Chains A and B, each alone.
Chain A
Amino acid sequence: MFGYWDALYFVYVFIIGLIIAYLLMKWAERASSGTRREGEGAKIFLSGEDQDRVIPDFEHFRGYFTGRHVMWGLIRGINRMFIAFRREHTGLLGDYVSYLLITIALVLGALIIWG
């Protein structure tokens, strides 16, 4: 293709990333305590909630990978952003309309000033 990037570099970066991720995993597995790969209540060490802990109202999910377990770390890490985003999704018709008007106003302003 064109430019200074090439698809091959992507593959290199991908392979290096895989190696780094594998090393990280090995290190984390050794450093963390109580990782269990198999058996009842397998516990993942980086992402995932403690399988032994009983979550109220979710007792029947114990030991299964449920939707809330995976990506726990990411979601907790930037929780504030997600809270802000979720708060905006109110589902109220008035909000939808006001956002539409805001969008049109923004486009209108930009086009009139610099168009």
Chain B
Amino acid sequence: MNVLPFVIIIPLLGVFSLPLVGLVGKKAREAWALLISGATLGVTSKLLYNVWSTKETLVYTLGAKSPMGQGVGFPVRIVWEVDLLSAIMAFTIAFVAFLAVAYSIEYMRHDTGLEKYYVLILVLELGMLGIVLTGDIFNFYVFLEIMSIASYALVAFRNDTWEGIEAGIKYMFVGSLASSFILLGIALLYGQYGTLTMAYLAEKMAANFTLTAKIALAFLIGGLLFKSGAVPVHMWLADAHPAAPSSISAMLSGLVIKAGGVYVIARIAFSVFGMAVNLRTLGWVIIFFACLTLIVGNAMAVVQTDMKRLLAFSSVGQIGYILLGLGIGLAAYGTKVGEIATAGAIYHTVNHAIMKALLFMVAGAVLHELGTKDLNELSGLAKTMPKTTFAFIVGAAAIIGLPPLNGFASKWLLYESSALFNPFLGAIAIIGTAFCTAAYIRVLYTFLGRPSERVMKAKEPGMAMLLPMFILVGAIILMGLFPWQISKGVMIPAASMLANIKGYVLAVMGGV
């Protein structure tokens, strides 16, 4: 049985049936959201296992057996195309989204309008899953908009504070503009080549690469850099991610900027434009923005006093690492260094999704218990919330890249490949980590310092919030124990499958 369509069908069923299930009662609604996201997690893990064990690109055609049109030799239908990178992303998305739903059962208990909340969180998950599965560039745009609109609404969900509304409005205006640029790029490509299937587009582009296609690529890359929160277009991120409810921040920071930004940049740069554009130039463009992102994102995290804003800036910095790996993978395409860098970027994407989800959940637990996220008032939290502080220490150590945890392996691959590619880039990466360390040590000092009066009244959050946090802690430690096995067994094959552009094209075109 082909599990691929169920990755979309199950969340879609959940979204549409949630208003009906919600009529039964509050508990039923929560259980249904949990069940749907859990089922999605199961299906994506099966999908990951299938793709990983066969190492073949899965192609699924909507509406017919074969993507080819009747009597013509090119694909006309919408295809979903899944290689190992897509499957890894889909699994990460489903995993973090499941935990975010579980976390929000307790975290959002005191809020109203929860039927909309659970519908939107599932729509967000659906949009991201669609983006990573699709092999059709307009289908990708549709899913991108599904994801973006759900995240605009979720950022402004706490509409009793003006912070949320302001951030949501700003995010919506500028995000729509970036989406329009992406749409313009897609329209230019369609006008030039007359097809929307990514694989066929790649083939036509390799034969005839025009100026229009270059302009289209620039619009796509610009819009997607915005969506992934690269400097200098990261400012919406620092507004939007702290303003959202923490379970949503975990998904926005952990998943949305990667599925809707970095993943798509990788897919478009490698699989669509890989055979046509000068990959060295494209790689250096991405490396340029990655270096800016590394320095500015991590440095801005140092001077924040709002805990969630600090985490959001740290997300910007970590996106810099992922973009750096991707850029080196493009600039050094075809070499061992490039492969290692791409593998490091993919590995760091997964690791950062887990770590940042954990850190935002910790911030949410603090916010839930104390009602503040101002670091100046959180001194000495370790006395009254030891379990939460432990989770934070694990997450912070992992994001800095301390050896026994998962962040070490991915950052190591990135340092190593950037130092081999160009020592200057390696130095920049290390400087970024220095700032990152400074930012997190600051939070840790505050947590471990002498308790202030306000903190003494705090208590640990309930089991429903602690459990998702400790599952993530377990995942971090477990992934940290087998770094090179994961790297060799999953990430390097994913990188080489991504770099195998011809394989991606032939999976749809079928050896024509």
A, B co-complexed: yes
Residues of A within 8 A of B (CB): 1-3, 5, 7, 10-11, 14, 58, 61, 63-71, 74-75, 81-82, 85-86, 88-89, 91, 93, 95-97, 99-100, 102-104, 106-108, 110-112, 114-115
Instruction: Find out whether the CB atom of B445 lies under 8 angstroms from the CB atom of A65.
Output: yes
A72 closest partner in B (C-beta): B442
**B467 sits at the interface (CB 8 A):** no
**B120 sits at the interface (CB 8 A):** no
Residues of B within 8 A of A (CB): 170, 173-174, 177-178, 181, 211, 214-215, 217-219, 221-223, 225-226, 230, 232-233, 235-236, 238-239, 277-278, 281-282, 284-285, 289, 296, 299-300, 302-303, 305, 336, 340, 374-376, 378-380, 403, 412, 415-416, 419-420, 438, 441-442, 445-446, 448-450, 452, 484
Instruction: Find out whether the CB atom of A66 lies under 8 angstroms from the CB atom of B484.
Output: no
Instruction: Find out whether the CB atom of B281 lies under 8 angstroms from the CB atom of A114.
Output: yes
Chain A neighbourhood of B223, CB < 8 A: 104
Instruction: Find out whether the CB atom of B375 lies under 8 angstroms from the CB atom of A64.
Output: no
Chain A neighbourhood of B303, CB < 8 A: 75, 82, 86
- With A85-B296, A89-B235 in contact, do A3 and B420 touch (Cβ < 8 Å)? yes
8 intermolecular pairs with C-beta atoms under 8 Å apart: A3-B416, A64-B379, A67-B375, A75-B302, A100-B174, A104-B218, A112-B218, A114-B278
CB distance from A90 to the nearest CB of B (A): 8
Q: Which of A88, A106, A115 contacts B214 (CB 8 A)?
A: A115
Instruction: Find out whether the CB atom of B296 lies under 8 angstroms from the CB atom of A96.
Output: no
CA A88 to CA B403, docked complex, whole Å: 35
Instruction: Find out whether the CB atom of A5 lies under 8 angstroms from the CB atom of B177.
Output: no
Q: Is the interface of B mostly helix, strand, loop or mixed?
A: helix
Beyond contacts A61-B379, A65-B448, A66-B376: 4 other A-B pairs, Cβ-Cβ < 8 A, are A61-B376, A65-B450, A89-B300, A115-B282
Instruction: Find out whether the CB atom of B218 lies under 8 angstroms from the CB atom of A107.
Output: yes
Instruction: Find out whether the CB atom of B235 lies under 8 angstroms from the CB atom of A97.
Output: no
Instruction: Find out whether the CB atom of A74 lies under 8 angstroms from the CB atom of B217.
Output: no
CA A77 to CA B305, docked complex, whole Å: 18
Instruction: Find out whether the CB atom of A110 lies under 8 angstroms from the CB atom of B281.
Output: yes
Instruction: Find out whether the CB atom of A7 lies under 8 angstroms from the CB atom of B375.
Output: no
CA A56 to CA B175, docked complex, whole Å: 41
Chain A neighbourhood of B403, CB < 8 A: 7, 10-11, 14
Instruction: Find out whether the CB atom of A82 lies under 8 angstroms from the CB atom of B299.
Output: yes
Instruction: Find out whether the CB atom of B484 lies under 8 angstroms from the CB atom of A100.
Output: no
Instruction: Find out whether the CB atom of B299 lies under 8 angstroms from the CB atom of A81.
Output: yes
CB distance from B64 to the nearest CB of A (A): 36
Chain B neighbourhood of A82, CB < 8 A: 299, 302-303
Q: Which of B214, B217, B233 contacts A100 (CB 8 A)?
A: B233
Instruction: Find out whether the CB atom of B281 lies under 8 angstroms from the CB atom of A104.
Output: no
Chain B neighbourhood of A96, CB < 8 A: 170, 174, 233, 235-236
Instruction: Find out whether the CB atom of A64 lies under 8 angstroms from the CB atom of B174.
Output: no
A91 closest partner in B (C-beta): B239
- With A103-B233, A111-B217 in contact, do A66 and B375 touch (Cβ < 8 Å)? yes
Instruction: Find out whether the CB atom of A107 lies under 8 angstroms from the CB atom of B281.
Output: no
Instruction: Find out whether the CB atom of A112 lies under 8 angstroms from the CB atom of B215.
Output: yes
CB distance from A11 to the nearest CB of B (A): 7
CA A104 to CA B289, docked complex, whole Å: 11
Instruction: Find out whether the CB atom of B285 lies under 8 angstroms from the CB atom of A70.
Output: no
Chain B neighbourhood of A2, CB < 8 A: 336, 340, 416
CA A64 to CA B214, docked complex, whole Å: 56
Instruction: Find out whether the CB atom of B219 lies under 8 angstroms from the CB atom of A104.
Output: yes
B296 closest partner in A (C-beta): A85
Instruction: Find out whether the CB atom of B239 lies under 8 angstroms from the CB atom of A104.
Output: no
CA A20 to CA B449, docked complex, whole Å: 25
B181 closest partner in A (C-beta): A104
Instruction: Find out whether the CB atom of B376 lies under 8 angstroms from the CB atom of A95.
Output: no
Q: Which of A71, A95, A104, A108 contacts B235 (CB 8 A)?
A: A95
A7, A85, A96, A114 interface centre (most CB from chain B within 10 Å)? A96
